[in-house]
Amino acid sequence: MQAVQHGRFADPAVEARFQETARALRLPFVRIYGVLFMLVALAYSIANPIFVSPEDTARLALLFGCMLILAGAYIASTFWDGYVARPGLDFAALLGIVFLLGHINLILFDELIALQEEMHAVGVMNRLAVSAFAAVALASRPRLFALWLLLDLTVFLSTVLPVQSHGAGLWYALLSYLSGAGIMLAINFAIDRSSRGAFALAEALEAERAKNEELVYNMLPHAAVERIRDGRVVADSYADASVIFIDMVGFTNLAKRVSPGHLVELLNAFFNHADRCAADHGVEKVKTIGDAYLAIAGGNVVSGNSADAAIAFARAVLEGVGELQRVAGTEVGLRVGIHSGPVVGGVIGATRMAYDYWGETVNMAARLESTAPVNGIAISESSWLRANDRSGFGAPHNEMLKGVGETCVYHAGPAPAAVTLPEISRVA
């Protein structure tokens, strides 16, 4: 929840966002209130000629005309893009309306009072209607509304005192005005508090939603998430993808020699380095399987030549072997297998969902990895034919792959260890 200090959010950026949001949400109510006020003013204008003398009818027509123009201009200003950021428009317009209303009330009472000449302090057209209007329009600005009430009182006294004696009528009128103003101030404060509470809750929920969405998008492609939300099946076919399978050499023996914490740090360093290389080369991480890393070029992440992207990614990962050895404190090696061809991708199941890839291309990449030299790359003939950058690969030769048979394979030797991974403290 956002912290509040002295009636405002502690963070100025949050306060500004709240002011903009609150005023934007109140816009329909301000417009409706303004239209209702104009209709009331029109009703008074129609009734005036029936009860008021021709001379005062002309004066009232002028004042009501000014009030309608001012109220209409005020409502029109709410359709301006800059209105939300300018609460001074509400302040000035409503203060002007109150000023006109005070003079209208004096004329109306002069007409209605025949014997009791000292009732000017009592309003005929209720000022509280405008005060309620201001309480809503300035709800997120309680200090500005308090200032508006003070100026409204000043206008009230300046129009009444010259024609009203300091008797019981004035004091009762002041009590009536102040009690009404107090209620409007309380309403303004209540709207402000409830609005801030609702906004803070909405901000917290939005922050939590963003975290959850980031987590979901970290596990699933954006397009897949949209289809899952719509209840659709997520199944895709990619005709020309390159699958990369990277495995750590001698991991089982290494696990026997080092502590579990040290082993986790080593795997974390390896996977984080591979993640950065994948992001740099437009390759999509599919998953980790124990100490193995499976990635694909040409799947959900768009890449140009998938074979070139896969080879560049593999070389970048192998350049970090030297630092992995430093973290492990012993010899560490990686093998990479790459095969290009069609794959099928999609999401299966309803729990612990992940976007996965299937097909012979994936299996072939895993088989090729076992033939690669330590800290080297093995690619299939299909990847070699697709690739533009074939530097470093030797002559083709046949390898016997389990479940596949004799296969034409190209090998590239160990890469120089040039990349420095993030510093990781060694666990004894």
Domains of the chain: 4-212 (no CATH), 227-412 (3.30.70.1230)
Q: Which two tokens stand for residue 199?
A: 């906004």
In this prediction, residue 2 carries a pLDDT of 55
Cβ-proximal residues to 87 (8 Å cutoff; 6+ apart), any chain: 19, 23, 137, 138, 140, 141, 144
pTM of the model: 0.55
**Residues in CB range of 142: below 8 A, 6 or more apart:** 7, 185, 188, 189, 192
Residue 77 is predicted with a pLDDT of 93
**Pairing status of strand 333-347 against strand 376-380:** parallel
Residue 424's pLDDT is: 38
> Can you give the pLDDT at residue 333?
87
Residue with tokens 């005023």: 23
Tell me the two tokens of residue 326.
């430093």
What pLDDT shows up at residue 125? 52
Residue-level pLDDT at 212: 79
pLDDT at 7: 65
- 231 has which bridge partners? none
Distance CA 89, CA 73 (A): 10
pLDDT given for residue 114 in this prediction? 45
pLDDT in tens, the chain (428 residues): 555 555 678 888 888 888 888 888 888 888 888 888 888 888 888 888 887 788 888 988 999 899 899 999 999 999 998 888 888 898 998 889 888 888 888 887 777 664 354 555 555 456 777 888 888 888 888 888 889 888 988 888 887 777 766 666 677 667 767 777 887 888 888 888 778 888 888 888 888 888 877 777 777 777 777 777 777 778 788 888 999 999 998 887 778 777 888 888 888 889 999 999 999 999 989 898 888 999 999 888 777 899 999 999 999 999 988 888 887 777 788 999 999 999 998 887 766 677 889 889 999 999 999 999 999 999 999 999 999 988 889 899 898 888 788 889 999 877 544 444 444 333 33
